[in-house]
């Protein structure tokens, strides 16, 4: 069939059919007619238009029509929850009123969102759970709340401590994408089981706490009223939580219904976790992989300082096309280039000589690295203690992060920066940054923006 006739066929398709969908359906319908004699336009157009309107699209073709090579399309095809409550419509209007929402999400998505979607598929869980990190953190890997919850999944310190997630001066597992994702999905499955297979109640408990939801259920039972999510007396934030997730789900599932075009987002996970063989400065690791240090930091938000933790985990996410370079460079590192750093908080009764003996190093070295004049030290202060040959070169790498009195007065925002990442870099509180710069924590930082780092 010629191109003009095909265009006429597409024009006759029912309202709501996209060009891509129309082409796929018509290709299927016409495939069986390829060997029949030519017909006139009047013979062909009318029956095909009616058939295309009435025939269901096969499920194996429907996946193709939903852009499976694109992550938004792949996620949208697997979203199945449907709810028409007024609260969902209200949250949808709020989301659609943010014109840059999906642009920002798409910029932040790789590789974290790709990883999360893949893990949910492996477990056979509802794809709606992949939207939880969007609701929680807007896919900001350094997101940090006023209640000190952190990371994509916004895990609180108390929850992390209860379940044994590691948090120390060097490393925060809540920001480690694979570790935090594994924990969050385990936790959601646990809540799902606890609340008798009700995902809405499980999500409410994830946001508001299992105790609060359990008390709301008991209160509803005592009053003899319905015990579903929509009927419970819950805090305002938790009442909005599930409607917001459902609203986001409806937008991603049928963006054309809301006159929205989602950015193309590659479904490939183009990074892999690679063993470092011990502690390594991130700048040195980036140099070995021949990539920007800022990009390596973005891929590895759980490493809070200029180097990986001495005790591990000794892994970094590296772009797939840089792995051979990185591993080859690691194999050639000398012992002098493998400087080990320890972080120590001075305790009451400590002396420099006792600390030097404890770490098998010299007092003069501790003083030089930490800029100490004389022998006076104060309980609660922190020290960096190196072990290795070329510690001076390593210290140059660390200079922008340590010691704290070297902090500059200003910071120019770079792509990928967030209030949390900037606060971590300069050993500040997010609230202080917000107050000194009169910032709205809900607004996005703009590259090139200058922030004050002192009152």
- Could you tell me the CA-to-CA distances from 118 to 24, 70, 79, 112 in Å, in that order? 27, 13, 14, 10
Q: Does the annotation mark 429 as catalytic? A: no
Exactly one of 91, 119, 128, 136 is catalytic; which is it? 136
Closest CA to 28 of 8, 48, 4, 12: 48
Query: Where does 254-381 show beta strands of DSSP type E?
Result: 271-275, 315-319, 340-345
Closest CA to 288 of 262, 315, 318: 318
- Note the Cα 219 to chain centre separation in Å: 36
Closest CA to 319 of 267, 265, 268: 268
DSSP secondary structure letters along 314-364: -EEEEEGGGHHHHHHHHHT--STT--EEEEEEPPTT--HHHHHHHTT--HH
Closest CA to 369 of 395, 336, 350: 395
Q: For residues 206 and 200, what is the distance between their CA atoms, to the nearest angstrom?
A: 10
For the chain, the distance separating the N- and C-terminal CA atoms, rounded to the nearest angstrom, is 72
Q: Helix %, strand %, coil % for the chain, to 5?
A: 50, 10, 40
Helix (H, G, I), strand (E, B) or coil at 19: helix
The answer to whether 111 and 271 are in contact (CB under 8 A) is yes
The answer to whether 159 and 150 are in contact (CB under 8 A) is no
Please, what is the Cα angle at 257 between 253 and 260, to 5 degrees? 80
Using omega within 30 degrees of 0 as the cis cutoff, is the peptide bond preceding 212 cis? no
The answer to whether 418 and 142 are in contact (CB under 8 A) is yes
Q: For residues 379 and 376, what is the distance between their CA atoms, to the nearest angstrom?
A: 10
User: What phi, psi does 99 have (nearest 5°)?
Assistant: -65, -25
Would you please indicate which residues are annotated as catalytic (active-site) residues? 136
């Amino acid at each position: 069939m010629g191109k003009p006739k095909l265009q006429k066929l597409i024009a006759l398709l029912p309202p709501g059919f996209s060009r891509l969908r129309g082409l796929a359906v018509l290709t299927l319908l016409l495939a069986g007619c390829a060997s029949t004699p030519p017909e006139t336009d009047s013979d062909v157009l009318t029956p095909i238009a009616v058939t295309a309107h009435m025939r269901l699209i096969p499920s194996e073709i429907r996946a193709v029509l939903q852009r499976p090579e694109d992550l938004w399309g792949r996620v949208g095809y697997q979203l199945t929850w449907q709810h028409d409550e007024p609260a969902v419509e209200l949250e949808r209007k709020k989301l659609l009123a943010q014109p840059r929402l999906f642009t920002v999400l798409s910029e932040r998505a790789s590789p974290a969102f790709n990883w999360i979607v893949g893990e949910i598929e492996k477990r056979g869980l509802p794809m709606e759970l992949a939207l939880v990190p969007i609701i929680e953190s807007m896919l900001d890997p350094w997101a940090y709340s006023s209640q000190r919850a952190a990371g994509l999944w916004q895990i609180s310190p108390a929850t992390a401590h209860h379940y044994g997630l590691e948090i120390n001066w060097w490393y925060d597992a809540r920001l480690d994408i694979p570790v935090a994702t594994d924990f969050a999905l385990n936790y959601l499955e646990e809540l799902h089981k606890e609340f008798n297979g009700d995902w809405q109640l499980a999500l409410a408990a994830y946001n508001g706490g299992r105790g609060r939801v359990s008390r709301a259920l008991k209160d509803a039972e005592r009053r003899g009223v319905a015990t579903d999510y929509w009927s419970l007396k819950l805090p305002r934030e938790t009442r909005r939580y599930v409607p917001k997730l459902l609203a986001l789900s409806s937008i991603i599932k049928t963006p054309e219904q809301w006159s929205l075009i989602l950015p193309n987002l590659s479904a490939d996970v183009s990074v892999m976790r690679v063993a470092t063989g011990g502690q390594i400065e991130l700048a040195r690791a980036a140099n070995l992989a021949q990539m920007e240090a800022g990009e390596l930091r973005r891929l590895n938000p759980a490493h809070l300082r200029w180097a990986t933790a001495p005790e591990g985990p000794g892994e970094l996410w590296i772009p797939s096309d840089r792995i051979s370079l990185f591993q080859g460079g690691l194999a050639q590192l000398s012992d002098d280039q493998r400087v080990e750093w320890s972080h120590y908080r001075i305790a009451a009764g400590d002396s420099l000589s006792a600390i030097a003996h404890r770490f098998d190093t010299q007092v003069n070295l501790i003083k030089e690295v930490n800029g100490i004049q004389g022998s006076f030290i104060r309980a609660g202060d922190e020290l960096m203690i190196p072990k290795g040959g070329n510690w001076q070169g390593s210290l140059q790498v660390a200079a922008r992060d340590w010691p704290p009195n070297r902090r500059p007065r200003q910071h120019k925002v770079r792509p990928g920066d967030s209030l949390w990442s900037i606060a971590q870099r300069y050993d500040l509180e997010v609230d202080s940054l917000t107050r000194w710069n009169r910032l709205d924590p809900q607004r996005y930082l703009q590259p090139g923006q200058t922030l004050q780092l002192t009152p």
